[in-house]
Amino acid sequence: MEALGFGVQQKCGKRFSAHCGLLAKPRTNAVSTQRKQIGKQMLLPLRGYSLILLVSMFGVILCPIKGFVQSTSSTPMLLRGGGRSRTATETSAFKFRVITISQTKEKWCEEACKEYASRIKKFGVDLEETTLKPAIGPPKQTEEQQKDEEGKTLLSRLDIGKDRLVLLDERGELLTSHEFADYIQRCADQGDRSVTFAIGGASGHSEDVRATAKKAGRILSLGKMVLNHQIARVVLLEQIYRALTIQRGIPYHK
């Protein structure tokens, strides 16, 4: 009976409390609302950082690396060099050409050249490599005849007036990497369509080729020591890549 009485009392108590408004609904909604408000206040600063982060990410995605370019307007083209940011407005493609007179191709050389060529092209620069077969030399022909024949073949592949010819010769001018990068920049600024680097045969370049380079280009040396054709080709491509990183302020050259 006591248990029954307690049950009746409990039910009656609940009805009375509900009638008087004492047995209200649990305050879960109020607590939940309060927690949401606190959460919003805590997340509000984070949303700002998230927005900045998203904008930064999209900025990186939507702004690809600018390639080595050539200005089509009368205003000289401005690139990045010496750690300073520069921009170009109207642009067109610029090409590097490497012509080598050699009959030797070794795997290590081809792999190294392929690696640097891939790096160069990532800057949006076109790179064309051509290997010409050497002419017949002594004893069937003299070295002068050999150089003349190779020189004619080389010059036939150039568009003088639009292409800049740069000969690689041990007696050529020595440049630093920064000077080399600035020279390439000037070629583009002056409206050159491309810069053609020529690595001569075993006997060197003919006088006609040298005269053309002095008039419409330059004669450069990669060093005072003599390099074989394969090593010279690898060093040249590495220096072209280095020049591009210098122009863009990329910390490859130190």
Pairing mode, strands 163-174 and 217-221:
parallel
> Which of helix, strand or coil describes residue 91?
strand
* H or E stretch covering 55: helix 28-62
Three-class SS of 193-222:
CEEEEEECECCECCHHHHHHHHHHEEEEEC
| CA separation for the pair 80, 241 (Å, rounded) | 14
Could you please report the per-residue DSSP string of 145-169? HHHHHHHHHHHTT--BTTEEEEEEE
| Contacts of residue 84, Cβ cutoff 8 Å, sequence gap at least 6 | 249
Q: Identify residue 211 by its one-letter amino acid code.
A: A
* H or E stretch covering 245: helix 229-247
| CA separation for the pair 215, 60 (Å, rounded) | 43
- Angle between helical axes of 207-216 and 143-155 (0-180°, round to 10): 40
pTM of the model: 0.65
Q: pLDDT digit of tens for each residue in the chain (254 aa)? A: 444 344 434 444 444 344 444 344 444 455 455 655 655 555 444 444 443 444 344 443 333 334 444 444 433 334 433 333 334 333 346 899 999 999 888 999 999 999 999 999 999 989 999 999 999 999 999 999 999 999 999 999 998 878 899 999 989 999 999 999 999 999 988 888 899 999 999 889 999 999 999 998 999 999 999 899 999 999 999 999 999 999 999 989 76
| CA separation for the pair 102, 125 (Å, rounded) | 25
